[in-house]
């Protein structure tokens, strides 16, 4: 029997309603997160020796739910990484605990600026796995970047 990857396994369980808030899985909206509806900002999964965190796509909304830097790629990238940092630290981790980023840019010409800003926040000696995709539009006009993250925070012994 072939082994399912952890991601496919969790997708299967989530899509079939098999995972609900439990001692293993926690659905969390961090204190630093803007007000949202319809989804959870982070899902924490207790792996025993570590906690895996799936962070939903982050865009440039401040704590009041207003867009920061409409159309300004660098301002949005800075805010997104500051928010990711706040969410990860609230969960007890650091930016070095990011293992995967998925990046959605509306203009691939912004890639070098993205890499420069990202590198101020992540471990550049062991950078996270990453996928970068150009999209024609994000869900609100003025947004130019969205970033998802997967984080693995080792538990303190």
Q: For 98, list phi and psi in degrees, rounded to 5.
A: -70, 130
Who's near 33: CB < 8 A, 6+ residues apart? 41, 63, 83, 87
Q: Provide mean pLDDT across the span 84-108.
A: 96
Look at residue 19 in the predicted model and tell me its pLDDT.
52
Residue 14 has pLDDT above 60, yes or no: no
Whose structure tokens read 């970068």?
132
The structural domains of the chain, ordered by start, are 25-154 (3.30.1330.40)
Task: Give the CA radius of gyration of the chain.
Answer: 16
Q: Are 79 and 69 in contact (CB under 8 A)?
A: yes
Q: How many CB atoms are closer than 10 A to CB 90?
A: 14
The token pair that represents 84 in the structure block: 């990711």
> What does the mean pLDDT of the chain come to?
85
List the one residue out of 45, 41, 37 whose CA is nearest residue 14.
45
CA–CA separation, 36 vs 44, rounded Å?
Answer: 18
What pTM was computed for the model?
0.82
Average pLDDT of span 56-82: 91
pLDDT at 60 over 60: yes
Q: Which of 94, 85, 105 is nearest to 147 (CA)?
A: 105
Half-sphere exposure (Cβ direction) of 14: Cα atoms closer than 13 Å: 14
* pLDDT beyond 90 at 8: no
Q: How many CB atoms lie within 10 A of CB 104?
A: 18
pLDDT-derived band at 13 (thresholds 50, 70, 90) equals very low
């Amino acid at each position: 029997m072939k082994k399912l990857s952890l991601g496919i396994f969790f997708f299967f369980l989530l899509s079939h309603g098999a995972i609900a808030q439990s001692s293993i899985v926690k659905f969390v909206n961090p204190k630093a997160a803007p007000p949202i509806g319809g989804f959870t900002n982070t899902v924490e999964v207790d792996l025993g020796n570590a906690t895996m965190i799936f962070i939903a796509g982050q865009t440039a909304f401040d704590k009041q739910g207003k867009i920061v830097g409409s159309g300004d790629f660098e301002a949005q990238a800075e805010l997104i990484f500051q928010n990711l940092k706040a969410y990860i630290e609230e969960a007890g981790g650091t930016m070095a605990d990011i293992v995967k980023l998925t990046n959605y840019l509306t203009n691939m010409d912004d890639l070098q600026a993205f890499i420069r800003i990202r590198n101020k926040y992540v471990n550049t000696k062991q950078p996270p796995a990453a996928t970068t995709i150009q999209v024609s539009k994000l869900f609100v006009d003025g947004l130019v970047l969205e970033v998802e993250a997967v984080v693995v925070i080792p538990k303190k012994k």
